[in-house]
Amino acid sequence: MNERLKVYDEKMTKTMHSLDSELATIRAGRANPHVLDRIMVEYYGTPSPIQQVANVSVPEPRIIQIQPWEKKMIKVIEKAIQISDLGINPTNDGSCIRLIFPELTEERRKDLAKDVKKKGEAAKVAVRNIRRDGNDAFKKLKGSEISEDEIKDMEDDLQKMTDKYIKEIDKAVEVKTKEVMTV
């Protein structure tokens, strides 16, 4: 692959990773420990992800269990979950915290599916913006040591790359929407 194209491929790959991580935080019908990824707790003065201060497991399909390594962290983790946008009240038995995910209503599933599509559209826009930036950069090369045919080839390759990533985004959105809509 051309060195100039590699930069845009890396940017598009980052966009794809960003979408994947955003989709992972959207909860479907079953418990997914990734919904806790964005929640930070204060641990010795440092904001830390819950996974770094506790053992997070999924003992049953709709339950996440959080077992802090230090007892004093239970209240801190519980409070962080309550003030987050997770929308689930944690239950605390003194040694661990359980998050019980209710069955999603049909309306909530449709809202989540819309949210998934919105995130997919935002990722597509980002990929198209990267393509536009690439094409602008290639146009600026006219009159330099690169021929117009080479510039045209790079633009074609960038378009193929864009099409590939758009297909990947559509596939990721389709898979996640299917997961969300499954009862």
Whether residues 8 and 42 share a domain: the answer is no
Whether residues 117 and 177 share a domain: the answer is yes
What pTM did the predictor assign? 0.70
User: Tens digits of per-residue pLDDT, 77-93?
Assistant: 888 888 887 778 888 88
Residue 40, domain CATH: 3.30.1360.40
Whether residues 41 and 15 share a domain: the answer is no
Does the pLDDT at position 46 exceed 70? Answer: yes
Quote the distance between the C-alpha of residue 110 and its chain's center. Answer: 19
Total tally of structural domains belonging to the chain: 2
Q: Mind giving me the DSSP string for the chain?
A: --HHHHHHHHHHHHHHHHHHHHHHTS--SS--GGGGTT-EEEETTEEEEGGGTEEEEEEETTEEEEEESSTTHHHHHHHHHHHSSS----EE-SS-EEEEPPPPPHHHHHHHHHHHHHHHHHHHHHHHHHHHHHHHHHHTTTTSSS-HHHHHHHHHHHHHHHHHHHHHHHHHHHHHHHHHH--
**Across the strands, what pairs with 46?**
43
* Structure confidence at residue 111 as a pLDDT band (50, 70, 90): confident
pLDDT reported for residue 127 = 94
Residue 115, domain CATH: 1.10.132.20
Whether residues 127 and 173 share a domain: the answer is yes
* Structure confidence at residue 26 as a pLDDT band (50, 70, 90): confident
Whether residues 8 and 65 share a domain: the answer is no
**Among 100, 119, 140, where does a domain finish?**
100
Does the pLDDT at position 1 exceed 70? Answer: no
pLDDT reported for residue 180 = 82
- How many CA atoms, within 13 angstroms, populate the side-chain half-sphere of residue 2? 16
pLDDT mean across residues, the chain:
87
- Domain extent at residue 176: 3-24+105-181
Whether residues 92 and 50 share a domain: the answer is yes
pLDDT reported for residue 27 = 67
Whether residues 138 and 75 share a domain: the answer is no
Percent of the chain residues past pLDDT 90, beyond the cut:
33
pLDDT reported for residue 120 = 93
User: Tens digits of per-residue pLDDT, 138-183?
Assistant: 888 877 778 888 888 989 999 999 999 999 999 999 998 988 887 6
pLDDT reported for residue 183 = 64
pLDDT reported for residue 126 = 95
